[in-house]
Amino acid sequence: MFIDVIFKLVEVFKSNFFTILSLAIVSYVIQYYINFFKRSRLPGPLPLPIIGNLHQIGDDFSSAAETFRQKYGDLIEIYMGSSRIVVISRIDLAEKVWGPLSIKNTKFIMRNAHSQGVDELGLGTKGMVLNRHLESWEFNRKFLVQSSSSPSFLRESIKLECKVNDEVFKYWKIMEKERMPVSVPDWMDAIGVDVVVTTATGKRMNSTAELFNKLNINGQKSEMQGIWQNGMKFAESIFTYNESMAFMMLLTPFIREWFPGFKNLNKKYLDNRDWINAELEKMISERRKEIENTPLDQPLEPTILTILLTTNTERDLEKISVGKRDQPLENDQLSSILREVFTGGLDTTSNTLSFVIHYIAKHRDVYLKMREEILNVYGTLDNPNILLESFEKFKYMEAVIQEAIRIFPTVAMISRAATEDVDFDGYTVEADTTVFTNLKALSHNPKYFKDPEIFNPDRFLDKGSIVKYSFLPFGNGVRMCPGRYWAMVQMKTFLIKLVSTFDLELVDKNAEAKYRYATVNRPIDINIYIKSRKD
């Protein structure tokens, strides 16, 4: 009898399973939207349960945010799965987020809301970019600012970059003879890796040599041998790590770990994290042994890794200390700072240079003005002796860099998160909500920039004409980019060498700058012909 009842119940359940499931789904959806509309809402697209607005955002968050801005306004909300984020596109709102210049005065000291994915990447309490532990963040930031902006470090950086550039230009002259186009993004990535890794560690990476050898021009091979091997693999891993930041920060573990496609990406990014960490540990271990085997009376070169390893030791090069930190750095601190030197110093600088090259190749008059400025500063275009002290004289070159960043920012969206509720236009944005600033919308606003789509470096020659918070190339306030001085030195050094050595021509003279979104805007399909300067 009991068995018969069980069988009947099973039959009933089987025949009504889809009806029950459908009712459950409908009930869930109704309850989701009841709760959703009860909240204090900002303008924005209606999200779907579980996935939010992911179906509308696609693989280009920057472009989607601009589309939403045009439809819903300068203050909107978007859902990444169940995570609510806010996007602002007005300078008065940007001032609220970026204006305060001290930790005590700002409500937006955090870079993002708490995220399990950020913790999984090892960034939640380490490094600088997404570190929410203020004591360690403050120390790491002060360390990087002081070490990467010290004159001794910057002079060494210029010297090493000139050496890398001279090697690259030998390759380019071989390509010139063969009338081979230069793939600018590929070369800027390789140069960036060699310059940043060599400057940071003191040991040569061989990415540019690898790139040249891959071209296989009449069997010619580079004679340069780097100490760190697999330079291009290391570079690609750093770029992948940067790409993973937005993915891990914005998507919930449920979506990352269970949704098809996302699951594979999640594994790829975490495996990449482990590979980079292992490489960093090798770099640190080898350099530590070299320092231990170096006599105390023998000076050490001022690389970032050396400064890291000697901080708070008898060989301390920079005497950097914050608060009660008076002990040598632990291995995880060393790794986190060194990793952010690479992640922050490679992608943004190399990408920006690619966009700069696109615009100066397209605008011959701008290129010639840059050349004239170099001649005025150094008195020659034939292998000028590049000095740190002369960089402040390159006003026009700096204007060119700034205009390229304005018209096509590598980082178009920068996030911050408040530590308490904040009022925006009468709307309450709750504490620990990630707020993105749409930098491209600010810098393309015709109210502040006449003809914003036109490349015109002259607009930056009068600094007083730039409305505050309309242009934030390195952010502002307490979370301003700590490596900005080094980045400008790298870009100016390369451009001085480039402009004084070659003429440039776009392969497609009508080509517009294009990009692929990967947390930052990575340039694609920028190809030029180079020709040795004759005049």
Annotated binding site for heme: 481
Q: In what order do the strands lie in the sheet with 434-438?
A: 75-80, 83-88, 434-438, 413-417
Gap between the Cα atoms of 360 and 367, Å rounded: 5
At CA 256, angle to CA 335 and CA 347, rounded to 5?
45
Q: What letter would DSSP give residue 527? A: E
Across the strands, what pairs with 506?
A: 528
For tokens 């580079």, the residue is 222
Identify whether the C-beta of residue 522 lies closer than 8 Å to the C-beta of residue 351: yes
Residue recorded with tokens 């100016």: 492
Question: What is the arrangement of strands in the sheet containing 527-532, beginning at the earlier edge strand?
Answer: 182-183, 527-532, 502-506
At 55 the three-state DSSP class reads helix
Would you call 450 exposed, middle or buried from its count of C-beta atoms within 10 A (0-12, 13-18, 19+)?
Answer: exposed
CA atoms of 34 and 215, how far apart (whole Å): 60
Closest CA to 441 of 43, 69, 85: 69
Q: Six-digit token pair at 86?
A: 């806010």
Exposure string for 5-43, b = 16+ CB within 10 A, e = fewer: eeeeeeeeeeeeeeeeeeeeeeeeeeeeeeeeeeeeebe
- Residue 458 in tokens: 């002259």
One-letter identity of residue 403: E
- The H or E element containing residue 413 is strand 413-417
Q: How far apart are CA 318 and CA 300, in angstroms?
A: 12
Distance between CA atoms of residues 345 and 422, nearest Å: 32
Q: Contact, 305 vs 333, CB < 8 A?
A: no
Q: Which residues are annotated as a binding site?
A: 481
Structure tokens at 410: 């590598």
CA 429 to mean position of chain CA atoms: 26
* Sign of CA pseudo-dihedral 391, 191, 308, 274: positive
